[in-house]
Amino acid sequence: MAVSVAKSIVERAFALACTHGHAPAIDILDLAMVRCDDESDLDFAAHDQPFDSWTDENSPFGNLLRAAFGGDGEEWDVVLQRFAQRYAIRLQESGRQKLNT
């Protein structure tokens, strides 16, 4: 279930970014994350993609995370911590990144 919830978050974020390209990345993520209240453990594993996880900094969703939480040259683990803290989630992935808050 955590994978399907994470996948729907990614899909909503991409759809919102396409229809509201002028909106700040943080606003897009706020809207995409609205319906994940019942899920605190999210698995952003990216199956059949050239990256291991949607939270990989080189993924399209990672670019959105960088725009929302990156600041000036922040380390990627700081970006992920800010993302997890804002939405009170734990990112648990089958990829190389694992972050527990």
Per-residue pLDDT tens for 8-26? 999 999 999 999 989 999 9
The residue extents of the domains of the chain are: 2-91
What pLDDT, on the 0 to 100 scale, is given for residue 42? 84
For residue 55, how many other CB atoms are within 10 A of its CB? 27
- Scanning the structure block, which residue is given the tokens 């990345």? 25
pTM of the model: 0.83
Integer CA distances (angstroms), 17 to 1, 39, 67, 69, 96, in order: 24, 23, 12, 16, 26
Per-residue pLDDT tens for 17-60? 999 989 999 999 999 998 665 556 788 999 889 999 999 999 99
